[in-house]
Amino acid sequence: MYILQVQNLSKSFGGLQANRSIGFDVAQGEMLGVIGPNGAGKTTLFNCIAGVHQIDSGRVIFQGRRISGMKSHEIARLGLARTFQIYVASGDLNVKENIMVGCFMRERVRSAAAKAADETLGLFQISHLAKNVVAELPIAAQKRVAMATALATGPRLLLLDEVAAGLNPNEVDEITGLIRSIHAKLGVTIILIEHVMEMVLNICDRVIVLDYGEKISEGTPREVIREPAVIKAYLGERYARQYLEQAENR
């Protein structure tokens, strides 16, 4: 069963074609990676799926319902949440209060939202940061807060936009393990945009590759890193060999 279907999605900004006739399906419980060079249209694709941008043509279907044309908050209430490359916390709210904002998507009573936030803090191993102001935290902790706030809405589908950006190798390993754990415990479907290929190889069931707004490849990580078009547009020969060795040793 497909939880998400993207059909011939196109989006332009003036004379710039950011997405051109992109199509793919996502199965319930799948972990899908979206890779490609900077400017390939990856974040625009997320924005179109989540209702931040209205598409020019095509359709987006979530849980059997057409959501293209709906507002972002309406889509969020249906169970689709996302993070952004740069996380902007809500004013001077602390970590727990930020997560509670997400909890209010499914909880109407403050005490219930606070209890749900405590559970989410524990899941992301940041209970000790509950009273800290988000903007004052290290970037790795801010990434966890961003993911926790999105997950607190109770999504069926979670879009993660470069959650490993700016992290050191140890932090990448930690957040990779955290995503894998959340996926296993909650069964939430995840689509992630990522440049850290080690993460993509370790956790994604399948990958799509964008270049100049078009989908140029789709398949398992092992399959796409062999594709000449992907090597030329994104990976390069040396890194493709390196990633292929990693994939073979998984």
Give the CATH number of the domain where residue 170 resides.
Answer: 3.40.50.300
Long-range contacts of residues 66-74, Cβ cutoff 8 Å, at least 24 apart: 68/9
Residues 160 and 244 in one domain: yes
Q: Give tens-digit pLDDT for 58-76.
A: 999 999 999 999 999 999 9
Rounded to whole angstroms, how far apart are CA atoms 160 and 164? 10
Are 210 and 192 found together in one domain?
Answer: yes
- The structure tokens listed for 189 are 């479907």
Report helix angle 110-123 to 139-151, nearest 10: 130
State the pLDDT at residue 175.
94
Q: Do 167 and 241 have their domain in common?
A: yes
| Residue 163: per-residue pLDDT | 93
> Same domain, yes or no, for 169 and 72?
yes
In this structure, the answer to whether residues 171 and 192 fall within a common structural domain is yes
Looking at the structure, tell me whether residues 171 and 227 fall in a common domain: yes
Runs of H (alpha helix) within 42-159:
42-50, 72-78, 95-103, 110-123, 139-151
Among 77-86, 157-166, 177-186, the least confident range: 77-86
Q: How far apart, in whole angstroms, are the C-alpha atoms of residue 57 and residue 71? A: 16
Q: Are residues 72 and 159 in the same domain?
A: yes
In this structure, the answer to whether residues 159 and 192 fall within a common structural domain is yes
Contacts of 88 (CB under 8 A, 6+ apart): none
Angle at 184 (CA atoms; ends 180, 188), nearest 5 degrees: 95
CB atoms within 10 A of CB 90: 12
Show the tokens assigned to 49: 């799926």
Q: Show which of 97, 124, 153 is a domain's final residue.
A: 153
Residue 44 has pLDDT above 80, yes or no: yes
Instruction: Give how many domains the chain has, as a whole number.
Output: 2
Does residue 70 share a domain with residue 47? yes
Query: Of the candidates 155, 86, 145, which has an alpha carbon nearest to the alpha carbon of residue 117?
Result: 145
Cross-strand partners of 133: 94
pTM for the whole structure: 0.91
What's at 46, amino acid-wise? F
Pairing of strands 16-27, 2-13: antiparallel
Do 143 and 179 share a domain, yes or no?
A: no
What number is the average pLDDT over the span 14-39? Answer: 95
Give the domain-ending residue among 105, 127, 153: 153
The Cα–Cα gap between 63 and 38 comes to 30
* 61, 175: one domain: yes
End-of-domain residue from the set 153, 174, 200: 153
142 is in which domain, residue-wise? 87-153
171 and 163 Cβ atoms separated by less than 8 Å: no
The answer to whether residues 63 and 162 belong to one domain is yes
